[in-house]
């Protein structure tokens, strides 16, 4: 939609001049935390997305002792502790090191961006590939990649992480592995034992081909969109189509998949989950309790696949995020009953859309003038309606 956008009183406004959110170009880590409105955000990156019971209990105890007790799950299957201070950071790091959850340096930490599809089974090779790739990315000979450059290991019977952001994908095909760059139509088909080496080869090509800009940023899809062709080995096999996948709360062969409001839990909730089994952190901001054969009965844990809170996604919002133009989660809770089953509404504190970078059926983006509503788009896209007051939004949604 171009030109003026309607607002709630029936008048029109030209698009407001909104200060663009700051894009840092890197993600927080444990050794390199990121400042937010409620203190430092410390991101813990479990290897292959898995926490042993001792590690999960340890994170819960460290969160209670050295942060504000809130734990976020990220879209890259990581765990974030909020409200860390300058004084509490050092003992927190000591505790994480004792749990085996730290990298040797900030460089190694920033390179180890590997997301593993959580339904792997022992012996199927997927977990081993993810661990081997993680180790290889932190070696001195590994390509120096942008800190947001990521790998997905998605080696089930059919891929389920196609809608998760990545730069290089490793999928299963014909008993081997298919490796390809995000945005490519073809990839390299290799034996499973060569998957890690082949993925690193593609990553090195990305660096050598000029995929990293002067600002140190760069993504594979952007480089391929410029018409750069990957090495011939990555043109040998077409990337097969995949059916859309939505995670289903409930029992699976690998265990019990549970959710949380906005992918956030209290430290005590993590401690209780740790008592049920090892935990696999998923990129859907859910947790798979490994080996569980019954659903847990814990407060503040979503175990019903039809729970209306699964229809809304919201970032931390103001005041906990210094870039947010307004609160988000109370609004999302109020909107949940108005969202049809099967649809998702994303409430974002700014145009970055951190909680849901891809398109949603409905997106509400906070601005200094109210909330902009985007249909079938992302937080920074051109809105259908602009400057909506929170109290009016349910009426606006019902009118669509």
The per-residue pLDDT for range 138-176, each reduced to its tens digit, is: 999 999 999 999 999 999 999 999 999 999 999 999 879
Q: Which helix (H) or strand (E) segment is 289 a member of? A: strand 287-290
| Per-residue pLDDT at 219 exceeds 70 | yes
Beta bridge partners of 348: 365
The pLDDT tens digits of the residues spanning 305-329 come to 999 999 999 999 999 998 999 999 9
Angle between helices 126-137 and 195-208 (to 10 degrees): 40
Once rounded to an integer, what is the mean pLDDT over residues 217-222?
A: 97
Highest mean pLDDT among 34-38, 43-47, 171-175: 43-47
pLDDT, residue 396, reads 86
Once rounded to an integer, what is the mean pLDDT over residues 207-229?
A: 96
179-213: burial string, b at 16+ Cβ within 10 Å, e else: bbbbebebbbbbebeebbebbbbbbbbbeebebbe
- Split at pLDDT 50, 70, 90, the class of 4 is very low
| Per-residue pLDDT at 2 exceeds 90 | no
DSSP E strands in 126-285: the ranges are 151-154, 168-173, 176-181, 186-190, 237-238, 250-252, 255-258, 264-266, 279-281
CA-to-CA distance for 265 and 298, rounded, in angstroms? 12
Beta bridge partners of 259: 302
Omega into 319 within 30° of 0, i.e. cis?
yes
Query: What is the bridge-based pairing of β-strands 34-36 and 255-258?
Result: unpaired
Beta bridge partners of 79: 44, 73
pLDDT, residue 258, reads 98
- Split at pLDDT 50, 70, 90, the class of 395 is confident
| Per-residue pLDDT at 9 exceeds 80 | no
Report residue 150 as tokens: 């990521």
Report residue 154 as tokens: 């998605």
Once rounded to an integer, what is the mean pLDDT over residues 342-352?
A: 94
- Split at pLDDT 50, 70, 90, the class of 20 is low
Closest by Cα among 75, 92, 100 to 263: 75
Q: Are 148 and 161 in contact (CB under 8 A)?
A: no
CA-to-CA distance for 217 and 146, rounded, in angstroms? 5
Average pLDDT, the chain: 92
CA-to-CA distance for 373 and 375, rounded, in angstroms? 7
CA-to-CA distance for 388 and 400, rounded, in angstroms? 14
Q: Are 66 and 91 in contact (CB under 8 A)?
A: yes
| Per-residue pLDDT at 39 exceeds 50 | yes
- Helix and strand numbers, DSSP H then E, in the chain: 9, 23
Residue the block writes with tokens 């990293």: 212
| Per-residue pLDDT at 18 exceeds 70 | no
Closest by Cα among 2, 4, 16, 6 to 400: 6
pLDDT, residue 21, reads 55
- pTM for the complete prediction? 0.90
Q: Are 49 and 63 in contact (CB under 8 A)?
A: no
pLDDT, residue 330, reads 95
Domains of the chain: 5-22+307-399 (3.30.413.10), 108-238 (3.40.50)
Report residue 365 as tokens: 């983006």
CA-to-CA distance for 263 and 284, rounded, in angstroms? 8
pLDDT, residue 26, reads 63
């Amino acid at each position: 939609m171009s030109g003026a956008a309607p607002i709630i009183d029936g008048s029109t406004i030209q698009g407001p001049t909104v200060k663009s959110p700051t894009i840092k170009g890197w993600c927080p880590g444990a050794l390199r935390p990121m400042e937010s409105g409620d203190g430092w955000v410390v991101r813990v990156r479990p290897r292959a997305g898995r926490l042993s019971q001792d590690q999960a209990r340890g994170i819960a105890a460290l969160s209670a002792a050295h942060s504000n007790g809130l734990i976020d799950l990220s879209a890259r299957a990581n765990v974030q502790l909020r409200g860390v201070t300058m004084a509490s950071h050092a003992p927190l790091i000591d505790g994480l090191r004792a749990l085996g959850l730290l990298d040797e340096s900030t460089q190694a930490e920033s390179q180890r961006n590997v997301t593993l599809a959580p339904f792997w089974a022992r012996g199927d090779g997927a977990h081993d590939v993810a661990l081997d790739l993680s180790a290889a990315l932190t070696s001195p000979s590994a390509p120096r990649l942008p800190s947001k450059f990521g790998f997905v290991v998605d080696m089930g019977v059919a891929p389920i992480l196609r809608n998760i952001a990545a730069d290089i994908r490793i999928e299963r095909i014909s008993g081997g592995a298919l490796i390809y760059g995000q945005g490519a139509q073809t990839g390299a088909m290799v034996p499973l034992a060569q998957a890690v080496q082949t993925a690193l080869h593609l990553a090195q090509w990305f660096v050598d081909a000029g995929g990293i800009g002067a600002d140190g940023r760069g993504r594979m899809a952007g480089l391929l969109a410029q018409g750069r062709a990957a090495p011939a080995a990555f043109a040998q096999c077409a990337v097969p189509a995949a059916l859309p996948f939505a995670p289903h709360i409930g029992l699976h062969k690998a265990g019990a998949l549970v959710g949380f409001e906005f992918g956030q839990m209290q430290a005590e909730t993590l401690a209780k989950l740790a008592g049920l089994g090892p935990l696999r952190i998923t990129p859907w901001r859910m947790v798979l309790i490994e080996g569980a054969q019954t659903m847990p009965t814990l407060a503040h844990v979503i175990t019903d696949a039809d729970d209306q809170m699964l229809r809304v996604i919201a970032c931390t919002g103001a005041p906990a995020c210094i870039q947010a133009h307004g609160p988000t989660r109370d609004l999302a809770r109020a909107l949940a009953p108005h969202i049809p089953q099967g649809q998702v509404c994303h409430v974002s504190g700014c145009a970055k859309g951190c909680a849901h970078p891809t398109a949603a059926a409905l997106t509400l983006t906070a601005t200094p003038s109210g909330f902009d509503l985007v249909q079938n788009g992302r937080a920074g896209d051109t809105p259908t309606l602009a400057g909506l007051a929170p109290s009016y939004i349910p009426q606006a949604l019902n009118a669509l």
